[in-house]
């Protein structure tokens, strides 16, 4: 029934006041001198996406009624998302009993990590070592289906697949990897809570809403600080083996190499590396100075084994630049003055180090084998088209 009396919702205004400082906090943390209108607008969009991420990945989640929600993707581009991965998350109660069930799909791997922290960049990771589970360790039926119980102790009488739920775990992170984005299919997976538990309290819901501003600020601030840390500790225009990312929740069975790039628009970096003798998966990516991966659907900002060309000596050579050097293995840094390079080997037999050479784009071929084929504008356009279609084929939402 309509009424002339105006009602007010003070809780809404309190939430907006909680979010209001985030923009100023981040523009000052970013540290770009005299940021342009485009810079400011871009950071505004990133901060807004962090607010959306805070709602989806925190406010909307309930460990009593778990469900997978999107975590990182092009729309929520934080923490240097790997373009070959899709990310989803859910909250869990470490005292609860859960069932994960679904269908395996055909992608390279599907892994679930147990995490002991809620607000990255505020409470931060604890000293508890992340526990990683692979769907491929489970019993997979002929139709591709699987089911596993996750609980503190194995349920009495349960002789099927079971994973121990760690006492400090409050969140699960689901990562799925595909190298052929169009033809590989991602797993489909549901999560259910099986034990009786009380409904979530109004106090807990209020606490999560109050965390929305700190979540948004903390996520982006953490990434800005991490990019700066790599620049200061790994150096410029290098790739150095990193233990930093492993200590903050990276995959424990993955070797990371990180470094910062800073080159002029007419310059390039040529990365050269041997591949491990055996390796489940490898990739390289470029991100900006806030550790946002360069738009990987519309730019070739990453490469994996399905997208890159190996040279006749078995080595991988990749060119990073703003201008297209006319070779297949190009990674587009866009207009970023500086940013992050990341390379990863997944379950490698060994971990070869890479060399990085700085040169003019016009001189790139001096640092590549003489038989490196030219890559035409038409071939590049088709590669980008496949990336754009392939990104949308994945299960991000």
Rounded to two decimals, the pTM is 0.94
Tokens of 61: 């989640």
Angle (deg, nearest 10), helices 37-54 and 212-234: 120
**Residue whose tokens read 């609980």:** 151
pLDDT at residue 120 above 90? no
pLDDT at residue 119 above 70? no
What is the DSSP secondary structure assignment for residue 208, as one 8-state letter?
Answer: H
Closest CA to 104 of 196, 214, 28, 178: 178
Q: What is the mean pLDDT of residues 299-318?
A: 98
Of the pLDDT bands very low, low, confident and very high (cuts 50, 70, 90), residue 127 is very low
How far the first Cα of the chain sits from its last, in Å, is 37
What architecture is domain 222-393? Sandwich (2.60)
pLDDT tens sequence across 359-387: 999 999 999 999 999 999 999 999 999 99
- Rounded to whole angstroms, how far apart are CA atoms 199 and 65? 9
| pLDDT for position 125 | 45
- 273 neighbors 353 (Cβ within 8 angstroms): yes
| pLDDT for position 128 | 55
Q: What is the mean pLDDT of residues 234-263?
A: 85
Closest CA to 354 of 284, 293, 299, 252: 284
- Rounded to whole angstroms, how far apart are CA atoms 173 and 137? 17
Share of the chain above pLDDT 70, in %: 94
- Rounded to whole angstroms, how far apart are CA atoms 289 and 92? 33
Q: What is the mean pLDDT of residues 270-285?
A: 98
- Rounded to whole angstroms, how far apart are CA atoms 164 and 131? 10
Closest CA to 275 of 303, 296, 246, 242: 303
Q: What angle do CA 215, 344, 133 make, to 5 degrees?
A: 65
- 269 neighbors 368 (Cβ within 8 angstroms): no
Domain ranges of the chain: 11-214, 222-393
- Rounded to whole angstroms, how far apart are CA atoms 317 and 375? 14
What is the DSSP secondary structure assignment for residue 236, as one 8-state letter?
Answer: B
Q: What is the mean pLDDT of residues 21-36?
A: 93
| pLDDT for position 249 | 58
pLDDT tens sequence across 164-196: 999 999 999 999 999 999 999 999 999 999 999
- Rounded to whole angstroms, how far apart are CA atoms 23 and 391? 29
| pLDDT for position 209 | 96
- 276 neighbors 172 (Cβ within 8 angstroms): no
């Amino acid at each position: 029934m309509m009424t002339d009396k105006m009602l007010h919702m003070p809780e809404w205004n309190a939430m907006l006041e909680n979010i209001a400082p985030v923009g100023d906090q981040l523009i000052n943390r970013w540290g770009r001198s005299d940021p342009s209108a485009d810079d400011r607008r871009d950071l505004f969009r990133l901060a807004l996406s962090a607010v959306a991420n805070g709602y989806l990945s925190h406010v909307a989640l309930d460990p009593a009624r778990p469900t997978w929600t999107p975590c990182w993707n092009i729309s929520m581009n934080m923490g240097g998302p790997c373009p070959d991965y899709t990310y989803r998350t859910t909250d869990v109660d470490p005292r609860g009993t859960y069932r994960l069930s679904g269908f395996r799909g055909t992608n390279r791997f599907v892994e679930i990590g147990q995490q002991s922290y809620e607000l990255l960049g505020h409470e931060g990771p604890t000293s508890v070592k992340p526990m990683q589970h692979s769907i491929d360790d489970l019993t997979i039926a002929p139709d591709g289906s699987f089911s596993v119980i996750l609980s503190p102790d194995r349920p009495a009488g349960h002789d099927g697949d079971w994973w121990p739920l760690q006492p400090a775990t409050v969140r699960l992170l689901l990562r799925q990897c595909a190298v052929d984005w169009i033809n590989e299919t991602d797993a489909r997976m549901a999560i259910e809570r099986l034990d009786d538990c009380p409904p979530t309290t109004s106090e807990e819901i209020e606490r999560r809403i109050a965390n929305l501003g700190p979540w948004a600020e903390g996520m982006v601030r953490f990434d800005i600080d991490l990019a700066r840390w790599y620049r200061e500790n790994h150096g410029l225009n290098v790739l150095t083996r990193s233990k930093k990312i492993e200590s903050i929740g990276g995959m424990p069975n993955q070797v990371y190499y990180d470094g910062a790039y800073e080159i002029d628009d007419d310059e390039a970096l040529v990365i050269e590396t041997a591949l491990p003798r055996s390796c489940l998966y490898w990739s390289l990516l470029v991100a900006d100075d806030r550790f946002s991966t360069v738009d990987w659907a519309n730019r070739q900002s990453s490469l994996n084994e399905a997208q890159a060309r190996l040279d006749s000596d078995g080595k991988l050579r990749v060119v990073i630049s703003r201008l297209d050097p006319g070779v297949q293995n190009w990674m587009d840094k866009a207009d970023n003055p500086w940013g992050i390079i990341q390379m990863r080997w997944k379950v490698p037999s060994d971990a070869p180090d890479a060399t990085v050479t700085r040169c003019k784009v016009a001189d790139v071929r001096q640092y590549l084998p003489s038989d490196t084929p030219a890559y035409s504008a038409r071939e590049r356009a088709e590669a980008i088209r496949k990336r754009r279609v392939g990104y949308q084929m994945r299960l991000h939402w």
